[in-house]
Amino acid sequence: MKKPKQDIGPELGNAIQRLRKAYNMSLGDLSEHSGVAKSIISQIERNETNPTVGTVQKLSKALDTTVDEVLKQTSTANFIEHQTKAAIPILESEDGLCRLAITGPLNLVEHVQWYDFNAKAGGVLVSDPHQGGTVEHLYITKGELTVTCGGETKVAKQGESIRYRGDEQHAIANNTDQDAHATMVLIMRPFGG
């Protein structure tokens, strides 16, 4: 039995397969779009052959990416970042009763932001409007929170989720005598926009 070549590394086949599946393409679909034989693609994905740069280029184009991106994905570490507790930024509301831990990566804040949100009894977090098209997603993991957006008010309880326009002035209040906790995600612009 012939030993597979490992020059580029076994991650290349995994990257091609992952991208193909992400686009919901069969081996036949990728073969048709790239001009690379289905059997060759299968061998690449099983790391049984070391493709030429030309073959990787054809596959990359068919998968709507570049050779650099495919090869970069093959050498990416499994863990991108680990922030210790001391490195996670914490914001507080003006009343000091609400706390937002910025749990998402800071290099993505223009697109998506996510937070761990805690509100003590009586706490209120008031937010000015974010950029146009922003939507906030709040999932209550403990207690109850009241959200006011654009003059309307809704109450969400533990286990419930509420979404609202982040491009309007909005407030999240804990109007109970118990602490509340939620996860919050802000999508800063509509998908595809």
Identify the band that residue 1 occupies on the pLDDT scale cut at 50, 70 and 90.
Answer: very low
Q: What is the pLDDT of residue 159?
A: 97
Please tell me the predicted confidence (pLDDT) of residue 190.
Answer: 59
- The CA distance from 82 to 98, in Å, is 25
At 148-179, the pLDDT tens digits run: 998 999 999 999 999 999 999 999 999 999 99
pLDDT at 5 over 50: no
Q: 178: which 2 tokens?
A: 């118990």
DSSP state string for 17-39: HHHHHHTT--HHHHHHHH---HH
pLDDT beyond 50 at 15 = yes
Amino acid 189 reads R
DSSP 15: H
Per-residue confidence (pLDDT) for residue 106, from 0 to 100:
75
Highest averaged pLDDT of the listed ranges 39-48, 70-79, 148-157: 148-157
Tell me which residue of 94, 96, 7, 76 sits closest to 44, measured CA to CA.
Answer: 7
92 versus 119: the higher-pLDDT residue is 119
The token pair that represents 151 in the structure block: 């003059």
pLDDT confidence bin for 2, thresholds 50/70/90 = very low
The alpha carbon torsion through 47, 49, 54, 57 (nearest 10 deg) reads: -10
Query: Residue 125 above 90 pLDDT?
Result: yes
| Cα separation values, 42 from 111, 116, 124, 182, Å | 36, 43, 56, 45
pTM, two decimal places: 0.59
Check pLDDT > 70 for residue 58.
Answer: yes
Q: Can you tell me the mean pLDDT for 22-47?
A: 89
Contact 180, 172 (CB under 8 A): no
Cα-flanking dihedrals φ and ψ of residue 21, to 5°?
-70, -35
Cα gap 119→154, rounded to integer Å? 17
Looking at residue 163, its amino acid is R
